[in-house]
Amino acid sequence: MSLFENIRDGKEPATIVYKDDYITAFEDIHPEAPVHILIIPNKTIKSLNEVVDDDVDYLSHILLGASKIAKLRGIGESGYRLITNCNYDGGQEVDYLHFHLVGGVRLGKMINLPKSSKKKMKE
């Protein structure tokens, strides 16, 4: 079993902030903003690349859950960002589809390319 499967199943400790039939949401262990919550589908899916048509209920509940959780945490009005990283270029480190819900502070530019990537764009 993988880390996020264990968190989902209650076998690994995490601060769960929301759970329903489709999704589980918990605090990121290394928050990068005052609010940093990870939202996962209750079905094991490795990344956005792996989703299939039958997963539409999981995906829609992730969006619905994100909106609910943002309001519960008081950042609905001030604003927030929902991000999923896919594979190497996307910066995905955990192989279980997850969405970062971040907010509670002004987040700045959406994409901050490292110098090496900026150089590559000019080639």
**Pattern 12-51, ligand 5GP, x by CB under 6 A:** --x-----------xxxxx-------x-------------
Interatomic CA distance for residues 95 and 81, integer angstroms: 21
Nearest distance from C-beta of residue 58 to ligand 5GP, angstroms: 17
Q: Pull the structure tokens for residue 77.
A: 């009005």
> Which of 9, 119 has the CB closer to ligand 5GP?
9
b/e code 82-96 from CB counts within 10 Å (16+ = b)? beebeeeeeebeeeb
Site for ligand 5GP (CB under 6 A): which residue of 1, 3, 64, 105?
Answer: 3
Order of strands, sheet of 99-103, starting from the edge strand that comes earlier in the sequence: 16-19, 23-27, 35-41, 99-103, 80-83
- Catalytically annotated residues: 98
| Interaction site with ligand 5GP (CB under 6 A) | 3, 14, 26-30, 38, 85, 91-94
